[in-house]
Structure 1
Amino acid sequence: MPRHQTVKERAAWRPDEAADVVLLGGTGSLRDEVARIAAAAGLALRPEDPTGAPAPAPGGAPVLLGTGYARTLRTAAELVVVGFLDEAPALWDLAASTGAGRVAVLPDGAAWLAEYLSRTRRRETAGKIVALHGASGGVGTSALAGWLAAEAARSGTATVLVDADPLGGGLSSALGAADVPGLVWPDLAEAQGTVNPVQLAASLPAIAGFSLLSWPGAGKETLTEVPEADTAAEILSAAAGAFGLVVIDAGRLGSSPDIGRPADDIVLLTRADLRSRRAAATAAATAAGSGANIHVVVRGPLPPGTDEHLIADGLGVSLAGYLPQLRAVPASQHDGRLLELASNRRIRALCASLLDRLESGHQPGRLA
């Protein structure tokens, strides 16, 4: 996780050389057209023998499949079937047989494919995306997300806090930022194509040293329209391109809409009572399938005979910290003074430790 890196510095990055995008199968005409599209996205085409297994594409680039590819493909890369309009029936058959999630039919799909490939070019320098989930409702996920963003900003990391719950009343209200000018989610619901990271960062409200992408706060007109997954994914990609750390207040696992892009790390916050621990076990099992690094923070008070280490061991996830019960949190959140508690010594210690864990690339335990 980059430290002391500004938006301007991140936006100025350019790759030393183009990364590769792999094309398997297809005609010479298709290879020429895909090469042109890839070049527009800052990538170099690497055609390969359609009868062989592809070498991994650097930088997480997707693998493109053209007609004529007939092998069973075993790869973790994203698969995109590509071809011309007169091949359309064969393209859909190929997508079904290979499990490809997307089909680009040229020439109409050329602009979409160029935009899709251009996202690959930004991935190497993308900031870390961290999603905070509560094992149960009302556990304090929003508070911890706000404090973590404030501590990261205080340490010099360019940080954005993202509110992923359109029905939560607006995270900006709890942080005292409801009247700070800047874009909110409904302003971006109809965004199309590539979102410029620098423009996004410059358009968001800022508070306590970090930027905020929230749903409208209390008293604001709220639109119920939620961005499509592809739109949300592009916005998060742009946020990761502009900031060193993207903190997502993701609410309870499964309760918020799909925000379109998986997190690099998931921080699961749970109470220590038995019922909450059972909910946390279910949440941890769900999170284990996401491919993200999983961390758990235990919130006090602790029942007699147990501690945060025993709880984490029971979940099969490494302990990231202990959050003591703070009686002032509900009133502070209601009154928009949540960030006043970010200077609390115990909260700062927890957030600093969690940031160090995220920055060090610690690989916590997963469920067996």
Structure 2
Amino acid sequence: MASRSATVSAPLRPLLVTDDPYLLDEALRLAADARVELEVAPDAVAARARFGAAPLVLVGLGAAPGCVRARLPRRPGTVLVVMGPVEEPPWEVAEALGAEHIAVLPAAEPWLVDRLVDAAGAPRPATVVAVLGGRGGSGASVLAAGLAVTAARAGLRALLVDADPMGGGADLVLGWESLDGLRWPALSHGSTGVSPPALVDALPSRGELAVLSWDRGDLLTVPHDAMEAALAAGRASRDLVVVDLPRRLDDAAILALGSADQTLLLVPAELRACAAAARVAAVATAHTSALRIVVRGPAPGRLKAREIARALDLPLAGTLRPEPELARALERGEPPAGTGRGPLALLCQRILDDLDLRTREPAA
């Protein structure tokens, strides 16, 4: 069953972020040489809506600090562009921005033209959504799995990344614990020999959904480079990447949070849960500005979702009504939102509709 979210989009244009008229003229000239049209944004505020989806992002040196302060998502294909000559490339600025390369003009003009040519017609990178629990046992893992399952039911290629080593395992939430495939311990030990582009194909999967989770062995911390490889592979080959984050953020979780186009904080409608969620939100907002809350019922004290959103000073993404049958379905090994019916499925569909997800163009 297709949803209105699962539409095919035309390839997006590379994005240039700069308020420097000289750099703008030079970049437009190089884009003309590459026969590519650029999207142009003067600052981080104007760039935000297109930053994650563009096949290539060029950020002028003058605009880079604003992008860092705005906590735009870290993503592959970001280039810091500098008008030369310079004595030393601005490595610290590039690192803070998450740029993969520094292009010093005019020396880097041929290289940059090649990158623009490569970006022409490139598929839209996957949208990354992170999910956090406002307190332990809030149901964040079930919401994350429900989003991935709902996307896959709509024909979108989805990847569910379980970044919480202390959780029960996303494969168990889906009822997939018996499926063969790569899991975090093997990837973290670097023993698989699987390159990032092929990583998703090596994971447990059914239909349009793949999952990167834990085995039942020793607990591990996800290495930073393993998370980076997983996110890069998901961005390059999927339409949606959903990351289930731990409440205590380690380096890998911080990387995923900073890379997310949107982060959902699930808050039970209880006073103590709101107090705990406020602490989680305070930590999370240091790494992302794209944080929204989902309020989960029931509300024993009759707290309303909008009251909780105002108290946390965060936008409300939606509410999740009680669903007694959901717990029984999970015990039977049925994936959350798998039938497309019920409060969780409806909430997940609304969230995905708001994201305006698109399927990739078929390979030539």
Q: TM-score, normalised by structure 2?
A: 0.65
Note closer, same or farther for the CA distance 1:124–1:338 as it changes in structure 2 (3 Å cut). same
Note closer, same or farther for the CA distance 1:91–1:2 as it changes in structure 2 (3 Å cut). farther
Note closer, same or farther for the CA distance 1:80–1:180 as it changes in structure 2 (3 Å cut). same
CA deviation vs aligned residue, 1:1-60 (integer Å, no higher than 9, x gap): 99547xxx99xx9998x88899xxxxxxxxxxxxxxxxxxx9x9xxxxxxxxxxx99866
The whole-number CA distance in structure 2 between the counterparts of 1:136 and 1:123 is 40
The whole-number CA distance in structure 1 between the counterparts of 2:303 and 2:177 is 40
Which of 204, 207, 222 is the matching residue for 1:226?
Answer: 222
The whole-number CA distance in structure 2 between the counterparts of 1:360 and 1:340 is 20
Query: What amino acid is aligned across from residue 289 of structure 1 in structure 2?
Result: A
The whole-number CA distance in structure 1 between the counterparts of 2:261 and 2:211 is 19
Confirm or deny: 8 A CA contact 1:127 1:243 kept in the other structure. yes
Q: Is 1:293 the counterpart of 2:294 in the alignment? A: no
SS in 1 for 2:67: coil
1:287 Cα offset (Å): 3.1
Note closer, same or farther for the CA distance 1:251–1:331 as it changes in structure 2 (3 Å cut). farther
The whole-number CA distance in structure 2 between the counterparts of 1:103 and 1:206 is 30
Confirm or deny: 8 A CA contact 2:161 2:242 kept in the other structure. yes
Note closer, same or farther for the CA distance 1:151–1:341 as it changes in structure 2 (3 Å cut). closer
RMSD: 4.7
SS in 2 for 1:357: helix
Q: Which residue of 2 aligns with 1:126?
A: 125
Confirm or deny: 8 A CA contact 2:142 2:336 kept in the other structure. no
Unaligned runs of 5+ in 1: 23-41, 45-55, 66-70, 83-89, 106-112, 362-368
The whole-number CA distance in structure 2 between the counterparts of 1:99 and 1:341 is 41
Note closer, same or farther for the CA distance 1:347–1:357 as it changes in structure 2 (3 Å cut). same
Confirm or deny: 8 A CA contact 1:185 1:213 kept in the other structure. yes
The whole-number CA distance in structure 2 between the counterparts of 1:103 and 1:4 is 30
Q: Which has the higher contact order (CA 8 A, sep 6+)?
A: 2
Most deviating of 165-174 and 348-357: 165-174
Query: What amino acid is aligned across from residue 303 of structure 2 in structure 1?
Result: T
Most deviating of 275-284 and 159-168: 275-284
SS in 1 for 2:255: coil
Which of 332, 337, 351 is the matching residue for 2:333?
Answer: 337
Q: Is 1:76 the counterpart of 2:67 in the alignment? A: yes
Note closer, same or farther for the CA distance 1:336–1:205 as it changes in structure 2 (3 Å cut). farther
1:143 Cα offset (Å): 0.9
Q: Which residue of 1 aligns with 2:236?
A: 241
The whole-number CA distance in structure 1 between the counterparts of 2:159 and 2:153 is 13
Confirm or deny: 8 A CA contact 1:270 1:296 kept in the other structure. yes
Q: Which residue of 1 aligns with 2:316?
A: 319
Q: Which residue of 2 aligns with 1:250?
A: 245
The whole-number CA distance in structure 1 between the counterparts of 2:335 and 2:100 is 46
Structure number with greater Rg is: 1
1:306 Cα offset (Å): 2.4
Identity among equivalent pairs (%): 29
Confirm or deny: 8 A CA contact 2:57 2:79 kept in the other structure. no
Unaligned runs of 5+ in 2: 19-33, 37-46, 69-77, 103-110, 359-364
Q: Which residue of 1 aligns with 2:164?
A: 165
CA deviation vs aligned residue, 1:193-248 (integer Å, no higher than 9, x gap): 9721xx223211114641111111x3xx447363234x422320111111110011
1:328 Cα offset (Å): 5.3
Confirm or deny: 8 A CA contact 1:299 1:324 kept in the other structure. yes
Q: Which residue of 1 aligns with 2:75?
A: none
The whole-number CA distance in structure 2 between the counterparts of 1:170 and 1:73 is 38
Query: What amino acid is aligned across from residue 255 of structure 2 in structure 1?
Result: G
Note closer, same or farther for the CA distance 1:194–1:19 as it changes in structure 2 (3 Å cut). farther
SS in 1 for 2:309: helix
